[in-house]
Homo-oligomer: A and B are copies of this chain.
Amino acid sequence: MSKDIFLAYIKKHIDLNEAEESIILSKIKERKYLKNQFLVQQGDVCRYVVFIFTGCVRSYHVDDDGNEHTVSFSIENWWSSDMGSFITQKPADYNVQCIEPTSLIQFDSALMEELFETVPKLERFFRIISQNALVSAQRRVVNTFSKTARERFEIFREDYPELEQRVPQYMIASYLGVTKEFLSKIKGQIARE
């Protein structure tokens, strides 16, 4: 059952006993979204952090010129949210939208706190997750500064080989920080070699 996926995922990072497992199972439930549905819209307050069973979700910011900038793609066994908005309860900087039909667990603040109280180990779990995400985000900053668009694209392909198939090219461009036209030219250039 899909909730077990979640337990298995937690147990990659911390140990859980039976009691803790059943507490967690009792508090979470699966929810489904359709392709193109929004989990958060930029400007709204983000009420949930989600854990994804199946599907794919994109977080992106639309700037003053109307250009989209993809912050992250989240797929099976990963998290998504506008954390800044979730924590501060201020308007979200990002849209969070399903780009496939998606099945997930939604955690609101109350549920989070309840889980932390009843299973304090989960603080550790989320600490570890957050630290890992921070390390990736910093690496992305450095890559953006030190690599050309083409290199970043090649790294992206290696790091997330499945995503290139699942995600429209213009979204990948906006994740890499280039225009869709330029990414297309890069692909052309690679193909010609």
Contacts and interface: CB of A to CB of B under 8 A. Distances in A.
Contact of A130 (B72, B127, B141): B127
Number of copies of this chain that the complex holds: 2
**Secondary structure dominating the interface of A:** helix
Contacts of A155: none
Q: Which among A69, A120, A141, A146 has the greatest number of chain B C-beta atoms within 10 A?
A: A141
Contact of A137 (B127, B137, B146): B137
Interface string A64-89: 01010101100000000001100100
A190 interface: no
Interface residues of A, number: 34
Given A134-B130, A144-B144, A139 B84 contact: yes
Interface string A141-153: 1101110000000
